[in-house]
Chains A and B, each alone.
Chain A
């Protein structure tokens, strides 16, 4: 394979893709074009439903089931892919064009070691012998900065961490020396601190091998670190295309500006009235039944009436367990939860209805938090009937009232959850919590599963409701942008303990606790040089890294 310079590697012209939506073929990609040169990285950005994955995957000559290419051409190195047979396309896939999926955990076969899966594709394509492929795997694992590259291939997927698995997948993609790699949200499922490491490794490896890449993500700040050029998509249309730096500095379209602006910071309210402490978590230590590891150790958290306390931490830091302890789902082994100074019984079963009513919960995955067989009016209406004993006409009026509060049309009352979009579902969950007329709402990653702009809407709604109803929030999240947007106070958690609690302005300003600093410095910024600068600073020891924290 000769690598000619200057010629366009990938040329997609006027591609029209239709999808079968309830029996009707509707266009989901409207005549989009794209060119890619060797060694170039192009970023595809958009919210869910923008068609960015569908469009990106066409470089493999692939469309998802239920989709079809109607017209247009996809030329890889001058060879047309549209209309090729599956057998011919198979020679290209994984060989000349490789794919890195969002969930590495779901893409690896749990029954084989990493090295076995690495060698499978190059050996099958007849590119390498087994021994060569093995050697190659070590080389690639080293390129991606994986620990112990000689032996890590002998491990099974469940024996390495999520970040390492994502790197192994990139290593695999690079293994057969492809011309193009498609990255489909490769770091979206990772913690911020892990994301940085993976991003850094990917960027370096891609540069070192001089492959072209299509980087698909909803996160503009992440794409900004990777891409030379960016395309912003929405509903299958191109909104804006251009040089990454230029677009960030000077977005032309309103939609791009909106995407850029969602990370703006809001000013937190200060001057908390210490006397009005509503929830008081004291010295909580907890473990799950049947285990002997404390998930929480000596946790203290206070929530002041009418304010928002954000609990922030990575996965495994114990923040969701804290919610389970407060709600009584997991009785703690030590410590107590006090509500207005009165101790709540540790177990849910023994709590009086009044206590249950005053603390409500909103979940991350709105689709599984609502019974799919109940109508919206029943979902919202149940707490009214259960806690407040409201029935009949008054009940129906209250349901409509709540729908208005969450800014949904009244006829949604008759719908089922499946007929709602992700953001609308989360709104209904909010209404269900409000129906109980609670004093405190625990929000467990309520915006993590949503698109940026939709999440923004939910946060706005929560803030408005707080102003109106004086309800307090315990807001659990891993996303610092959300914390900045909504919190009055911040609790930083790490490995089951509280690192610090304080007013937002104090936590987010120097001097930082080391872990807080790591967390804050890991949040991608809208600056194309941010990643490079950060990696450099960390190497010089000016900023903490996960390793340096682990040693201390």
Chain B
């Protein structure tokens, strides 16, 4: 308990707000079936019933309870985004570190492959692959993971190359340490801060990509609730002056901000800056 309170004391106001937001959505996601008044697929009323009436956030474009769908959306979207971002960071960082530590031919081959792949627009690449292999959730995770591994590779490689020229890495090489040790013990701990900052940003891009894919019918398949898809589904309501599409969009924005507030604090701490700087 003292450990937790020490962490809490270490956070500044903005980071506490960020932590609050992230905890709130995580709780929603974990306890969705108990928190949501209705199921995510059940049609409970009329189309676009008004906010704060019978249903707290009204109903969506086919009459499902919006609040329940937002709660279930937290679960589906966050889980999908976290897992795909984790996949992309694992793959990107490992390959980036390998390229930087082995350098020479290995680096050339890996970097050129990434250069070629990264030249294909993200959305088009994912569209082609997903329409070819189908849209099972695992496939979705894998495809998004690979696509976002490309920019992570570049960052990880650049960061690792800066670390790689340090004398302590040379000292480890001279000791005769293997590639795995160099990557895991010498480079990774020192590359963690820039990579974490990148994680916060990428995580949000993944949201947006999932949303675009859902828009084209290739994301999470209905009736599964997904914030991106909900923005798209309710988008027509804007024309009528309804606030319904704003709700899922606001959730995406809020979670993005929350995560970044938290990560900013961590990066700030890790960079060794004082609070007044």
Contacts and interface: CB of A to CB of B under 8 A. Distances in A.
Nearest to A352: B176
A360 B176 CA distance: 11
B173 interface: yes
A353 interface: yes
A353 B176 CA distance: 7
A364 to B, nearest CB: 8
Interface stretch (A26-34, A215-223, A228-236, A367-375): A367-375
A363 B174 contact: no
Contact of A371 (B173, B189, B274): B189
A419 to B, nearest CB: 12
Interface in A328-387: 328-329, 348, 351, 353, 356, 360-361, 363, 365, 368-374, 382-383, 386-387
A410 B68 CA distance: 59
A373 B163 CA distance: 12
Contact of B175 (A365, A373, A382): A382
A373 B174 CA distance: 19
Contact of B190 (A361, A371, A382, A432): A371
Contacts of B176: 348, 351, 353, 356, 386
Given A351-B176, A386-B175, A386-B177, A373 B190 contact: yes
B269 interface: no
A356 B190 contact: no
Nearest to A359: B174
A329 B170 contact: yes
Contacts of B170: 329
In this complex, the interface size class of chain B, counting residues with CB under 8 Å from chain A, is: 10 to 19
A327 interface: yes
A470 B166 CA distance: 30
Interface string B168-208: 10111111110000000110011000000000000000000
A23 interface: yes
B9 interface: no
B100 to A, nearest CB: 16
Nearest to B192: A373
Contacts of B172: 371
A436 B259 CA distance: 45
Nearest to A373: B189
A438 to B, nearest CB: 11
Nearest to B177: A386
A368 B175 contact: no
Contacts of A387: 175
Nearest to A370: B168
Contacts of B177: 386
Nearest to A324: B170
B190 A327 contact: no
B185 A363 contact: no
Contacts of A348: 173-174, 176
Contacts of B189: 371, 373-374
B174 A368 contact: no
A422 to B, nearest CB: 14
Given A23-B274, A374-B185, A369 B168 contact: yes
Contacts of A327: 174
Contacts of B175: 356, 382-383, 386-387, 436
Closest 5 CB pairs of A and B: A373-B189, A369-B167, A356-B176, A371-B168, A363-B167
Given A353-B176, A371-B168, A382-B175, 4 more contacts: A327-B174, A329-B173, A371-B185, A374-B189
11 contacts: A348-B176, A356-B174, A356-B176, A361-B174, A363-B171, A368-B167, A370-B168, A371-B189, A383-B175, A386-B177, A436-B175
